[in-house]
A = this chain, B = another copy of it.
Amino acid sequence: MRLLLTGSAGFIGSHLAAHFLNGGHEVVGVDNYLSGQLANTERLLGRPGFSFLQADVSAGLPDVGGPLDWVLHFASPASPPHYQQFPVETLMVGAQGTQHALNLAERHGARFLLASTSEVYGDPLVHPQPETYWGHVNPNGLRSCYDEAKRYAEALTMAYHRARGLDTRIIRIFNTYGPHMRADDGRVVTNFINQALAGEPLTVQGDGQQTRSFQYVSDLIRGVARLMDVTYHDPVNLGGTDAITMLRFAEVVRALVNPDLPIRFVPLAADDPRQRQPDITVARRLLGWAPEVSLDDGLRRTAAYFRHAAAAPPPTPARPGPGRPSDRAPA
């Protein structure tokens, strides 16, 4: 197969590219490094079957010679500090970016997969969240640039499927962690690991009783690959099912990395979901899929990566906006 993958320099994109290269497929990676990392491309360059285009999918995709079997649209800032720094760009990669990727798939007669997110559920009122839950999202809050962009991307994908007959897939990715994340991702896994590695107090938001369910990245990649092998157009949740409070999670990271550290409580971020956990009944039934990597194992591998990364040069900084300081959200 030959696949085009937007967001190939992102955390998940880089693992997905490696997965398909391992399987002997060709991957055309696309990234503009708004939040992707040069180091993730460098790991892939030189591998047989990999080619890379530095391009902003929101502005359009350059002509890709040869056939394409799949277009996988993973490009987007995904962590709150990144998408709130680039709210307009985040909205654009959900709308114009998704549409350029859909049009490319249509032109090539390729299938299309959208990386959507558990953020379409917002701060859910139903637990766990099945795909049929419509979500609870503030349409104009600080997080709306990401949440609404992804809801729009789902609606657009389904419109191309229904009205134009495109063969599409939609995954909703829940909290995922592992090597190749940005050290400054800004979400809890890297925050805790970096704090622990640096010997700093672990900062827990609010009272720490809000929960998350984590999946290790290799579990996610396995689920994506399986969904590409079946014909199913509605969204599919892929995520870890074991809810853990943020306080307990801090204790696990601390125990793994540095048992002597204190835990410090800080204010809860605006619109932060109190609880989110996937109902993975569809993925179990349709794909025979469930997460397999334990939190302890996954965190050990991730901490090892960051320990090593701390010895290497720092990651690419989040790229400044295209010459317009006003692109950035107020602090």
Contacts and interface: CB of A to CB of B under 8 A. Distances in A.
Interface stretch (A241-249, A302-310, A322-330): A322-330
A88 B145 contact: no
A156 B327 contact: no
A158 B134 contact: no
Nearest to A95: B95
A151 B152 contact: yes
B326 A164 contact: yes
Interface string A249-260: 000000000000
Given A135-B139, A136-B134, A163-B327, A144 B148 contact: no
A93 B148 CA distance: 15
A181 interface: no
Given A139-B155, A149-B152, A155-B139, A163 B328 contact: yes
Interface residues of A, number: 45
Interface in A82-137: 87-88, 91-92, 94-96, 99, 120, 122, 134-137
A318 to B, nearest CB: 15
Contacts of A264: none
Given A87-B163, A327-B164, A145 B155 contact: yes
Given A151-B151, A155-B91, A134 B137 contact: yes
Contacts of A159: 87-88, 91, 144-145, 329
A66 to B, nearest CB: 25
27 contacts: A87-B162, A88-B156, A88-B163, A91-B95, A95-B95, A95-B96, A120-B139, A122-B134, A134-B138, A135-B137, A135-B139, A137-B151, A140-B154, A140-B155, A140-B234, A140-B235, A144-B151, A144-B154, A144-B155, A144-B159, A145-B155, A148-B154, A149-B152, A151-B152, A163-B329, A164-B326, A164-B327
Given A95-B95, A164-B327, 4 more contacts: A87-B163, A148-B151, A152-B152, A162-B330
